[in-house]
Structure 1
Amino acid sequence: MPELIAPTVSLHSAFLECHEEWGPGLHEDGFGLRDGDDVRTPEGFAVWVGRRLRLDHPSSAPCPEEQHCTARWIVEDGRILGGIALRHRYDDDLGQIGYGIRPSARRRGLASWALAAMLGEARARDMERVLVPCLANNVASARTIERNGGILESIRHFEDFAVRRYWITLDW
């Protein structure tokens, strides 16, 4: 059975395997990779994971409050299958929840399961609704969001891509 866990340095090799499967770039939504993040070396990975963990705990985070988030990895049998993050503050560009499932683990319902779990976390934080975006051409992600109650607000068009913006109301 898969589980959602906080990022940990003990899964460095599993993370690298997942990252390699995705290929080059920063497109693994839910991991929060940024330009300049060194996840390949043990030292760089420890710094990156430490930053992710600190973002989880606002009282000890040395970063701006608007960056606080709850990050979780989707793990099964020691393999990282994907990641999901809930931003504690509203972000009009990134939305409040981002997730990604590695290609070999797709079509198993993992994204829907992880999104439902993260919606529970949002409820626990007394959020009334969350914005969940996905690329406009990602039909599987759009269905995942819709299955979890997402209502399409709009499609924003940019120079090279378009993004669907869904709101999910958190019923109490």
Structure 2
Amino acid sequence: MLDVHKSFLEAMAEYQAEGRGSPGDHSNIGSDIRAYAPAWSSPEVFRSFVAGLRAQALPDTPRPANYVPTTVLWWLEGVDYLGRLNIRHRLAPGVIGERNGHIGYDVRPSARRRGHATAMLAAALPIAAGLGLDRVLITCDADNEASRRTIERNGGVPAERIDEKLRYWITLS
């Protein structure tokens, strides 16, 4: 994993340059930037961060009350970090799960508009099925046209909207 370290740091710097990691950024990337950015350059801290991400898939890993087991995967091209997938093993309780859905994805700014998000979501669907999910909820902000197209290209069927979040269901077969 250390071979991806440099590219990962470059990707996080790109996210920060677009304003990610601010207190109002409630995304996984934003939370990770706030928590780890000052120390990520250390190989030991980076190794520990990656181990923590991997542990999130385990049901017995301690986590906050509203968090559920989540498989985190990185989208790579060789050793170049292009993005991240979060596959939640079930919906988080209450409105959090209804707003966040089962699968989230994030493509680094310099790799956007090249089909990575569509490919990432397509790759996540068989993994979600392997977790025993019959269908998955995917959400995106109403003003995020690219994410809306990504979801629809992967078979997303529109469901009811919650605030600024568009919601889609994808049936897994």
Normalised-by-shorter TM-score class: 0.7 to 0.9
C-alpha deviations, 1:101-130, integer Å up to 9, x for none? 112111221111111111000111120111
Q: Distance in 2 between matches of 1:10 and 1:166?
A: 36
Equivalent position of 1:145 in the other structure: 151
Count matched residues: 159
The structural deviation recorded for 1:50 is 2.0
What's the offset of the Cα at 1:16? 1.2
The structure, 1 or 2, with the larger RCO (C-alpha pairs under 8 Å, 6+ apart) is 1
**TM (normalized to structure 1)?**
0.80
Alignment of 1:3-82 (within 5 A): 8-23=1-16, 24-26=19-21, 31=29, 33-34=31-32, 36-41=34-39, 42=42, 43-58=44-59, 61-63=61-63, 66-82=67-83
- SS of the residue corresponding to residue 154 of structure 1 reads coil
Alignment CA distance shift 1:114-1:105 (3 Å): same
3-state SS of 2:160 partner: strand
Q: Specify the code of the residue in structure 2 equivalent to 1:78.
A: V
* Structure 2 alignment gaps of length 5 or more: 92-96
Q: Which whole-Å CA distance do the structure 2 matches of 1:36 and 1:29 have between them?
A: 11
Aligned AA (2:77)? E
Paired position in structure 2 for 1:3? none
Alpha-carbon deviations, 1:5-35, whole Å to 9, x = none?
xxx4553322110011122423595647357
The CA distance in 2 between the partners of 1:51 and 1:142, in whole Å, is 30
RMSD: 2.4
Q: TM-score, normalised by structure 2?
A: 0.80
SS in 1 for 2:36: coil
Residues 114-170 of structure 1: per-residue CA shift (max 9 Å, x gap): 11111000111120111101111111110110011101112222xxxx111111111
* Structure 1 residue matching 2:159: 3-state secondary structure: strand
CA contact (8 A) 2:12 2:33 kept: no
What stretches of structure 1 of length at least 5 have no aligned partner? 1-7
